[in-house]
Structure 1
Amino acid sequence: MPQPATRSRITIGETTITYLPDGFGAHNPDVLFPGVDWTTRPGYLEEGQLLLSFGSFLIRARGRNILVDLAVGEIDVDVPGVARLKGGSLLRNLAAEGLSTGDIDTVVYTHLHLDHVGWTSDVAPLPNGPATDSPTSLTFAGARHLMSEDEWQYWSTRTATMGGPDAEAVLKPLASVVEFVGSGETIAPGVTVEATPGHTPGHLAIVVRDPAGVSTESACIVGDILHSPAQVGDPDLVFSSDIAPDQARAVRDQVLQRPDTVIAAGHFTDDVFGRVTSVGDTHMWTPVDGSPSSR
């Protein structure tokens, strides 16, 4: 049965990408994927709940230490009828890699949903509720904090809905330091951002290539383009918080058809790194160094 993903690593040429777990959520599947009959998709639920892993990706590229997304933060909370959310392991897993918060030179956000921004400041934002304390500092105070301008403008000009970033714990601390990056921009040797809107207006994917050009393989950190391996076999599955579902589906189709690419899907259970193989219109998820998923 599916279990939250553990720390794992891949190598693209001389660059390493390490998944750093922070926690997990046990979700009501009918809330996340409305209208889906999970009895026809055996093997994806654990005791009737859909598990999502929460974590960050550490990219080490020619002396640079980059974190992609900041997970859910140190929380342990029930959202009645929706999910049980638990986090808090990110900094311990970072330390297990021999790094401290001061060693991170860049943070890049795929988007600003609460489960991707939890370690932005020293206050973890709670779902659908105000911050309980005022933040005093950024967790990665010496790092650049990057995102798309569309993402920032979307969330900073409206009252946060459930799932959006908390104004006090996230937006306010970022306001004086945030930097905007555009699609195709290189943020480190071999590391570029790619506009992938749909789940949110300014969603980004992070593409990692070998800066030396020796390896032809690349990796794509997909953020919330994919939430579950079920979407690999059935890309029509619409996630409930996709702001533009048709656009999100089109982006998902593009990602699933990338050759020579390792997909890094941080919400997947068991294995967050894998490849997508296609036969006709059918896609299959194959964990790196594993066998094809039969689910």
Structure 2
Amino acid sequence: MSELCRDRVVVVTGAGRGIGRAHALAFAAQGARVVVNDVGVALDGSTTGEGPAAEVVAEIAKRGGTAVANTDDVADFDGARGLVATALDHFGRLDVLVNNAGFVRDRMLVNLGEDEWDAVIRVHLKGHFAPLRHAAEYWRAEAKAGRTPDARVINTSSGAGLLGSVGQANYSAAKAGIAGLTVVAAAELARYGVTVNAIAPSARTRMTEEVFADAMAKPEAGFDAMAPENISPLVVWLGSEQSREVTGRIFEVEGGKVSLAQSWRHGPSMDKGERWDPAELGPVVAKLIDQAPEPEPVYGEATK
């Protein structure tokens, strides 16, 4: 096997289980030194007292790789600082940040509680911002010292963030925010030798196994299209030196399929050259909608 990320130092958040665990194992298999972050919580965000990060580190070591565990809360600003410090203290540098941690508290919008909104936005959106903020500070300092990094950030959005998902307003909003954060960070950090991309994965995890039980079922034989391990090859490549020309992109990944998501774009327009009267705008809007392609349906939306 090739070692695409030989000696690169990689932080993976939420790496104790599911997709994050698969990422950590895949990076280690490709020669990376990995910081396995997981605070150890249940699906709803409650503390479990389990130590999944240490278990993944042990598994990597058993396979001949190098890793260290970290249990900081990535949505806590000081905790995220500690996470970056773990990479620097143990391995002397940081090359790749994979933001993956998250959980769900699904509810229809009319029943969604403020605490359920706040918790999901905090873990997903702030949990991406805080590690990115501290990693970017380190990379900027390196660049200013004449040691321009060849660094990578891979964020985790979702089809729910790109298209919306019924019953997941909080999760969809957080994941849409991550998509926006990705393109802004890519533009701002390019000068420091940092690329920033995101994935929107579809795989069987604790967050998806109840929502999409039938689609997520394991096949009796053959290729398991919903295995979390299918997501990691693209993430590993995006974390490698080979991907330095790719930034500000969002990739959808499912099974053996990789696709490039199309972001919001300027569409049809009409310019009157002066202020519109509200009564004039009905036919204008109708014409613009007629000229534009139909939007993709929201996941779970009732068919017409």
> What's the TM-score once normalised by structure 2's chain length?
0.32
Greater helix fraction, Structure 1 or Structure 2: 2
> What's the TM-score once normalised by structure 1's chain length?
0.32
Q: Which structure would you say has the larger Rg?
A: 2
Greater strand fraction, Structure 1 or Structure 2: 1
